[in-house]
Structure 1
């Protein structure tokens, strides 16, 4: 499983191209993303909903979400997608220039929204194809224009996204118990869980222990092992696929922790 590191910076316009094999991973999405599926299939899961995006589909991914993904290439072909990351600086600049503001603060909701294809999106995608090296030094002005064009295109085609694009508030305080039971399988640092639930790290740890009567790290391991037991015993999954799905570092660490909790190796369940 591929896991995007917490501080890894992605280029504003990113082509993904993988040859012949599927890839899985998870990531924290720090900025809004407009993404085009050029070839193959992308499956996403934000802990609430799973979405499948096939060739020709267009999606909008909201910032401040955790997301698992699987990239499947077409038969005898390559997986290809193009993603445009809409950073807060660009959006704030457009807000000041054109007077766009969010009329209301929306709850987090689903991380991924499928957009209806139209000629405007097609023309924009076609305009990006000659610029695969757009992120190289010297192209900053052109890159900025393409990002702003993407924002204006979203507003034209999907006006309701204004309340998402121009909401610059940080995550509000969420129901911690519900959030953790929905997102325990994501392998991110505790400070990321704290941020997404609208808390400082110290407040997160304090609230967590009041609710669960365990430290976050202890609870996360126990909850993941409980889910592993269920997936192996009830769903017939192999330990080799379960440990990746639930965020363990490696199979030997998973097997050791599992045996310590249940008295049996996962292969014996």
Structure 2
């Protein structure tokens, strides 16, 4: 299962880096499982079908009566049809910059919030249905006009949800502002749950493998191979405990070429085999 870089794969012009972007996602397959590197925070306004999402040891499932606000990062998600012949959701991506501008303008709490929850569940209602219809109209407008309108519509939906959910939603928005880490750590931790090899991660850090290993030990006080293996096995254990994905679904995602090697490494770390993982 290849990594999908979203929203990059939806952009018509790969050179552009918009602060706001709307995309209509549709499918007719029964089930689609995706490994996603989500590069921007994203509203997923689900209108037809079901969506299951797994992120950093937690998961959530929503139906067409609910929508999600998802924190950027690495996700495993599954999209499913219900009785209809099509799955449809409207995706609204937004940058940290435009979120910071909104929070500066409309909220009083300037303190950075530490919240590990990667999603916020939104109950769809008449207002949101009307809002989504208005987004569809904007997409047909000339580009410059559409960009200005979309900026207003972004403020509108955030103000509405703050009114609907109060400080709970405002606090969640504050938590989406990521505290800056060193560029090196940022790259390492963004690739934590990928199946990239050390040589490939070193390349992304613009370092030779030997330099990368030295730098890693200085930052983390452990060898990169051992650190990555431990982190990836822990994530695999969390995913298996949820019971939604099988061992055969995930071992490639964590850098193992076959089930046997994965099972051996897993048992050496936790003392039991993947199939014995308690839920």
TM-score of the aligned structures, taking structure 2 as reference length: 0.64
Matched, 1:67 2:64: no
Partners of 1:129 and 1:70 in 2: CA distance = 25
1:36 to 2:45 alignment: yes
The DSSP-based 3-state class of the residue aligned with 1:5 is strand
Q: Distance in 2 between matches of 1:102 and 1:39?
A: 36
Tell which deviates more after alignment, 36-45 or 141-150. 141-150
Q: Per the alignment, in what secondary structure is the counterpart of residue 5 of structure 2?
A: coil
Residues 20 and 76 of structure 1 are in contact (CA less than 8 Å); yes or no, is this contact kept in structure 2?
no
Change (3 A) 1:204 1:241: same
Tell me, which stretches of 5 or more residues in structure 1 are unaligned? 174-179, 195-200, 263-269
- Aligned partner of 1:27 among 27, 33, 36: 36
The secondary structure found in structure 2 opposite 1:254 is: coil
2: CA distance between counterparts of 1:134 and 1:257?
Answer: 55
Is the 1:36–1:83 Cα contact (8 Å) retained in structure 2? yes
Counterpart secondary structure, 1:139 = helix
Residues 106 and 85 of structure 1, relative CA distance in 2, 3 Å threshold: same
CA pair 243-136 structure 1, distance change in 2 beyond 3 A: farther
Deviations 1:93-139 (A, max 9, x none): 3344x352434432232111212333322221232234455695663
What SS is found at the alignment partner of 2:258?
helix
Distance 1:226 1:45, change over 3 A: closer
Aligned partner (choices 74, 79, 82) of residue 87 of structure 2: 79
Q: 1:139 to 1:27 in 2, by over 3 A?
A: same
Root mean square deviation of aligned Cα: 4.3
Structure 1 counterpart of 2:163: 156
Task: Report what 2:261 is aligned to.
Answer: 258
What's the offset of the Cα at 1:221? Answer: 4.8
Unaligned runs of 5+ in 2: 12-20, 182-187, 206-211, 266-279
Cα 1:225–1:130 change in 2 (3 A) is same
> What is the alpha-carbon distance in structure 1 between the residues aligned to residue 4 and residue 98 of structure 2?
23
| 8 Å Cα contact 2:100/2:177 also seen in 1 | no
The two structures have a TM-score, normalised by structure 1, of 0.65
Match of 1:197 in 2: none
Q: Distance in 1 between matches of 2:66 and 2:102?
A: 26
Judge conservation of contact 1:46–1:68 (CA < 8 Å) in 2: yes
Counterpart position of 1:206: 218
Task: Give 1:217-228 correspondences, 5 Å limit.
Answer: 217=225, 219-221=227-229
Looking at structure 2, the residues matched to 228 and 93 of structure 1 have their Cα atoms a distance apart, in angstroms, of 37
How many Å separate the matches in 2 of 1:9 and 1:99?
Answer: 32
CA deviation after TM superposition for structure 1 residue 219, in Å: 4.4
* Structure 1 segment 39-58 matched on structure 2, within 5 A: 39-58=48-67
Alignment partner of 1:152: what SS?
helix
